[in-house]
Amino acid sequence: MHNDSSVQYWRYSILRLVILLFILVVLFYFLSWSIKPKPILRVATDIWTGYESFYLARSLGYYENAPIRLVEMTSTSQKLHAIRNGTIDATALTLDETLSQIQDHNFNVKIVLVIDISNGADALVTKPGIKNLADLRNKKIGFENTATSTIVFDAALDHAGIDINEVKIVPLRVNEHLLAWKKNEVDAVVTFDPVRTEIINLGGQVLFDSAQIPGRIMDVLIVRTEVLDQHEVALKTLIAGHFAALKYLSENPTDASKRMAGRLSTEADKILPQFKLIKQPNLEENLEWLSGTNPALQKTAHELAHLMFQHHLLQHRITFDNLCDAKFLSNAHQ
């Protein structure tokens, strides 16, 4: 009897040990899964008034502990190179820049947010001696070789009745505009804020801007299609922060301007006038742009693509469906 009791005891002890080990293995598995690092959403922008909402949101702590990394770049060309190579997941571009990239069939993206619509922020700024657009003949005009700059440039020449062969084009990245202006390497430049304001402060004058071509230029947030699902929570957080930052700017303009002044390289009191040159659609307006079976933005994109093809800004006609995705706007309280 004693031996039987001992055997049963050891069997019971071994069984308990096995059960305990099993529980520990299961707990370790779920614990390791739960603390597995989340993939970081890498979002690239360059310096532009409309994109400051993301950095304001970061400054206010709205992205604290969120897997979001804002990547600051110096030009559109850099952003395009990075997203094509997959070194970033999302970027802010103008709609026409996005359409230009869709020509490359490997460039599969979704538009998840309308950031802003230009209403005078993109401009042709000239030296003081140039009194009207007609005076641009034989002058040196600098701009970055992007669709946005080309649209403003082309529209200005159309308004003046000037052929492109009657001006001298100086290719410049946006971060080179100010220096070229100071060194008198150009007579005029197609640029945008904050460079636009800096050049105006140096005596430049605006002879043409995006207010004269309403609705033609807008900035959108695009995301590589293949990474959408893995970054769903981060994208919702990013966009909610954007709307929250716009609300903070509206309710606390002085503090918000101080927070943004450094990145925009200007005095805080010059920030708000820059925002008056753009319209930043709110949540409801974004839902109108991006939602439905035939979103308004999809229609606008088709119209713009046709215009760009007519002006040789697209090498061939492009077709695209399901360009917009509104699901990341959900829970984006303002």
For residue 6, the model assigns a pLDDT of 66
Range picked from 27-31, 71-75, 304-308 for highest mean pLDDT:
71-75
Residue span(s) of the chain under CATH 3.40.190.10 come to 41-117+216-329, 122-212
Task: Name the CATH superfamily for 122-212.
Answer: Periplasmic binding protein-like II (3.40.190.10)
* Range with lowest mean pLDDT among 28-37, 209-218, 230-239: 28-37
Residue identified by tokens 């460039």 is: 107
Can the peptide bond before residue 194 be classed as cis, meaning omega within 30 degrees of 0? Answer: yes
For residue 331, the model assigns a pLDDT of 65
What tokens were used for 191?
């640029």
- 118, amino acid identity: S
Angle, to 10 degrees, between the axis of helix 283-290 and the axis of helix 296-310? 60
For residue 295, the model assigns a pLDDT of 93
Angstrom CA distances, 68 to 48, 112, 314, 316, stand at: 19, 16, 33, 36
Fold of 41-117+216-329: D-Maltodextrin-Binding Protein; domain 2 (3.40.190)
Q: How many angstroms separate the CA atoms of 131 and 152, rounded?
A: 18
Numbers of helices and strands, H then E, in the chain: 12, 11
Write the burial class of residue 126 (CB in 10 Å: 0-12 exposed, 13-18 middle, 19+ buried). Answer: buried
Closest by CA position to 98, among listed 296, 294, 292, 305? 305
For residue 334, the model assigns a pLDDT of 47
pLDDT tens digits along 219-272: 999 999 999 999 999 999 999 999 999 999 999 999 999 999 988 888 999 899
**Are 79 and 59 a contacting pair, CB within 8 Å?**
no
The count of other CB atoms within 10 Å of the CB of residue 80 is 21
Strands 188-192 and 140-143: parallel
**Are 97 and 80 a contacting pair, CB within 8 Å?**
yes
The count of other CB atoms within 10 Å of the CB of residue 288 is 16
pLDDT tens digits along 5-16: 666 666 667 767
Angle, to 10 degrees, between the axis of helix 296-310 and the axis of helix 95-102? 70
Residues of the chain with pLDDT > 70, as a percent, come to 90
Q: How many angstroms separate the CA atoms of 112 and 219, rounded?
A: 11
Give the H/E segment covering residue 96. helix 95-102
